[in-house]
Amino acid sequence: MAILQLSDEQIRTMTRAEKDQWWFSKVYRDDMAQLTLRSALMGFFLGGILSATGLYIGAKTGITLGVGLTSVILAFALFRILHGAGLAADFTILENNCTQSIATASGYVVSPLYAGLGAYMLVTGNIPPWWQITVWMIVVAILGVLVAFPMKRRFINEEQLPFPEGRASGVVLDSLYTGDAGEGMFKARILGFTALGAAIYQAIISDGWMKLLQVKTFGAQAAWVLHERIDTYYYQAAAKLDWVIPKILGTDLRVLGLRATLDVAMIGTGGLMGIAVATSCLIGAVVNFVLLAPLMIQLGDIAPRIAPNGSVVALNRVEIVNQWSLWWGVTMMVVGAMVSLAAKPELFTGAFKSIFGKKKAGAPTVGSDVLGGIEVPLWLSYVGVPIFSVIGVWLTHTFFGVPWLLCFISLPLIFILTVICVNSMALTSWTPTGSLSKITQFSMGAIDSSNPASNLLPAAMTAEVATNASNLLSDIKAGYMLGGKPRHQVVGHVIGIFAGVLACVPLFFLLFLQPDANGVRTTASMISDQFAMPAVMQWKGVAELIAKGVKGLPSSAVMAMAIAAVVALVMEVTRIVTKGRFKLSSVAIGLGVVLPPESVFAMFAGALMFWVMGLRHKKTPGTLGHRIWVECCEPICAGLISGAALMGIGNAIINVLI
């Protein structure tokens, strides 16, 4: 059944009161279950699991992946199976939508852990107690929800802005429940089988799972493990047979991080990323680790260093990035993001026009509002925003040492940038939280460059508030299309915030902040070969650049930063002039610098595979190849990511506990 929607002419000519009345009488489903106990529990459960996979992928790539459509398919399939077995009534379309709202909120709320908050801990060496981080994340996320309330009626009800990501969820839900349910079950089976296969493979290559299975369970002397780095077999043979060890300008490829890895989670990430972004990442990795890093090692600008305890720290990929590569990579990302944002003035003008522009005649007044009983009361925002702002400022000052004045000064900037971010989400599904948070970071750093927390925490607040406000309105767009009650989705979003934070904060401590020999948790284990934390590295780089400037950097690093800034500017201007036909991204090139090359290679392989197979089957609708490679691209990628990520998380936990 086609989703009812207003025509462009109706959107232009009808007053908001008329639009509200049309929606209330034509679309709203007052008698359909939405936020029920089972939809809340299902969303909480799925949200906790999928947010853990989001933390895993974020720690490996710095990329925040949405989990909305994955949760839609999983919830649909589970209750369709239970209904078929006579164990439960089938989910309604609005229950499923509420479940995906909860799960989506869970997935997005954890991003500070592998971005601003993680950078704060790495730069300062201060690890706040888990409960402080939990409280801070929840309060700031709820502040984002409260900020979104006043924008909902203008952006969604009156302006009818598209919110493409939310609309996609609405269309998928509508097709599942009013179209061929067999297609939904086919996608669910594809996702399930892919996840199972990825999980089995990840277990076989995981030392922890194999140790638990072979040694602890069956009493073997040692565990056999299939090597994920497939070039390991060559190096093992080379050591025995005196084969050639590949080098670039005298540096071992393994020191540069140039390994061949079969990482199925990264293959799935590449499939979702797309060929243009994956190619850009590949260019960044090749330029840095194949060309520049070996040259800088040869020149001595990258060299082994002496640790504070007097031991020699040998060169490896992390040292290469920290000592030299980070600077030009971060420059590419920051300049590219800023230029891209500045090239879209409509995001700025449109945002404030939508909020503060002149309202059409006939806008509903208090007492005549047909939606007054189902919308979120605006007084909650008018009261809640000041209260939660003060609480957030107090927590940021008390927990992280940010001066009171800077906390309060940052609030207006945070709210302005959130409006811009929401407008961007409404028009493009792109939330420029990275570039917008850098505006806060540089602004606060200009006032106080001596304290890293002064720029990192306000910037992290910007990202968290903007992400939750944008994500909530995108979810509400799907509910608006399907006739859902806005209040229920808002409550569901808050449930999702709790689910994501409660699941991932303890997991973050367990995996990334492991105790030292004295039992004291440190940040020494935060960055590793397995988890590169590229977003943390980017935030850390900007904070250190604010604090130190370019003093102390090798002249070659300063020159590389200048060249990177010019190249990023030229690339983004070229994208603008060609109206997007130039596909390479300077931001993704910079990301390729801080990511492990082996992850970049796997992501590119995944993107290339799905791109080639998609082109091959794009023009053959109805065939099995089209169904798998075109219609089921996202379920396949989600299965690869979720299966591998959950087993990878389990492996890391086993290694910590046994």
Note the residue count of the chain: 658
Residue 361 falls inside a structural domain? no
pLDDT for the residue 387: 94
Q: Are residues 51 and 175 in the same domain?
A: yes
Question: Do 104 and 71 contact (CB within 8 A), yes or no?
Answer: yes
From the list 645, 650, 642, 647, the residue with the least C-alpha distance to 190 is 642
Question: Do 629 and 613 contact (CB within 8 A), yes or no?
Answer: yes
CA atoms within 13 A on the CB side of 427: 16
Give the position of tokens 């406000």.
469
pLDDT in tens, 585-597: 898 898 899 888 9
Q: Could you list the residue range(s) of the whole structural domain that residue 287 is in? A: 223-342+548-642
> What Rg value do the Cα atoms of the chain yield, rounded?
25
Question: Do 638 and 70 contact (CB within 8 A), yes or no?
Answer: yes
Please report, rounded to a whole number, the percentage of residues in the chain having pLDDT higher than 90: 29
In total, how many domains does the chain have? 2
Residue 535 falls inside a structural domain? no
Token pair recorded at residue 501: 């934070």
pLDDT for the residue 357: 55
Residue 261 DSSP label: B
Q: Are residues 56 and 102 in the same domain?
A: yes
End of a domain among 488, 512, 536? Answer: 512
More confident residue, 73 or 458: 458
Q: Are residues 193 and 47 in the same domain?
A: yes
Q: Are residues 147 and 76 in the same domain?
A: yes
pLDDT in tens, 615-635: 999 888 889 899 899 888 888
Residue 392 falls inside a structural domain? yes
Please report, rounded to a whole number, the percentage of residues in the chain having pLDDT higher than 70: 92
Question: Which sign does the torsion angle of CA 638, 167, 277, 115 carry?
Answer: negative
Question: Which sign does the torsion angle of CA 405, 411, 412, 413 carry?
Answer: positive
Question: Do 604 and 279 contact (CB within 8 A), yes or no?
Answer: yes
Question: Do 519 and 126 contact (CB within 8 A), yes or no?
Answer: no
Q: Are residues 322 and 351 in the same domain?
A: no
Question: Do 469 and 422 contact (CB within 8 A), yes or no?
Answer: yes
Q: Are residues 600 and 472 in the same domain?
A: no
Residue 247 falls inside a structural domain? yes
pLDDT in tens, 52-95: 988 988 888 877 766 666 777 777 777 777 777 776 777 888 88
From the list 506, 539, 342, 537, the residue with the least C-alpha distance to 438 is 539
